[in-house]
Amino acid sequence: MKSGRRPLVVGNWKMHGSRAENARLVEEMIGQYPPAPAALCVVCPPLVYLQDVARLLRGSAILLGAQTVCADAQGAFTGEVSAAMLKDVGCSYVIVGHSERRLLYRESDQAVARKFVAAQSKGLVPILCVGEQLAEREAERTFEVVARQLEAVLKLASMESLASAVLAYEPVWAIGTGRHASPEQAQDVHAFIRAQLAARDAKIAPLTRILYGGSVKAVNAAELFAMPDIDGGLIGGASLKADEFIAILSAARAH
């Protein structure tokens, strides 16, 4: 195991599925679940199916997460769902700051930071996504962008809170494109993120899980997960096929 960090594989179903399709997917996943995987496994269905999927997962080792959360605790926020509500229906994880939320729904670094804090305050593990767009990579601004996104969270949250949180490096140009970062490209950014954490607290930095996301498939998972600072994956498209997702889960080894 990498410095005691048990790998984690998270399926982000995005806006896919139906009650019937989810039931089939979960049944297949449970049927193929390896006896003692090295990695923890989480699935994040659309909000409206959380309770249903929680019931389907009961008795299995697969944990439940949500794809987003409201930064506020309760009140007049039409359409929003709070961290306490997610906890109430059985979630233990929540993705915050996914690039689709940042870009399509204009979530700012500050809004993402508030969501991170709201999630942790109710006992959810936030999975904080960071990552650069293609133009930013081409302009060699990857580290600057990732540092800015991380910094916004560290302004509101303590370094201690990072020990139990999860980070996910997701280069936007690799999401849903079939073009994943090379293991070396990903490792460079993961090592940068860990160094940013270590500069603040050298004891906490080795504890934080940093996942890679962006076109992870069964064929490329093992080489990505073998890198020293990659502690598992955030999986989109490939999490919708049970055999593919379970193969990715099995590729995560305790190093």
List alpha helices for 96-215, DSSP H.
Answer: 99-104, 109-121, 134-138, 142-156, 159-164, 183-200
List Cα–Cα distances, 199 to 94, 193, 202, in angstroms.
Answer: 26, 10, 6
Question: Is 190 considered catalytic here?
Answer: no
| Total of residues contacting ligand PGA (CB under 6 A) | 13
Site string for ligand PGA, 39-78 (x = CB under 6 A): ----------------------------------------
Chosen residue from 235, 242, 247, 251 binding ligand PGA by CB under 6 A: 235
Q: Dihedrals φ, ψ of 117, to 5°?
A: -65, -40
Determine which residue in the list 17, 131, 213, 232 makes contact with ligand PGA, applying CB under 6 A.
Answer: 213
98 is catalytic: yes
The residue within the footprint of ligand PGA, chosen from 22, 187, 215, 250 (CB under 6 A), is: 215
Q: Interacting stretch for ligand PGA, rule CB under 6 A, among 53-61, 118-126, 188-196, 232-240?
A: 232-240
Q: How far is the CB of 98 from ligand PGA (least distance, A)?
A: 6
Cβ 248 to ligand PGA shortest distance, Å: 10
* Catalytic-labelled residue, pool 107, 132, 136, 170: 170
List CB contacts of 58: < 8 A, sequence separation 6 or more.
none
Residue 152: count other Cβ atoms within 10 Å of its Cβ: 21
Q: Cβ distance 168 to 213 under 8 Å? A: yes
User: Binding segment for ligand PGA among 35-43, 85-93, 211-219, 246-254 (CB under 6 A)?
Assistant: 211-219
76: tokens are 């007049």
Place of tokens 């080795």: 206
Exactly one of 7, 37, 232, 236 binds ligand PGA (CB under 6 A); that residue is 236
- Contact segment (CB under 6 A) with ligand PGA among 1-9, 154-162, 207-215, 243-251 equals 207-215
> 11 forms bridges with which residues in the sheet?
43, 235
Nearer to ligand PGA, 114 or 173 (CB): 173
CA–CA distance, 108 with 142 (Å, rounded to integer): 17
The minimum distance between CB 4 and ligand PGA, in angstroms, equals: 25
Cβ 74 to ligand PGA shortest distance, Å? 28
**Distance of alpha carbon 97 from alpha carbon 113, whole angstroms:** 8
Active site residues: 98, 170
- Judged by the rule CB under 6 A, the positions of this chain that interact with ligand PGA are 12, 170, 175-176, 213-216, 234-238
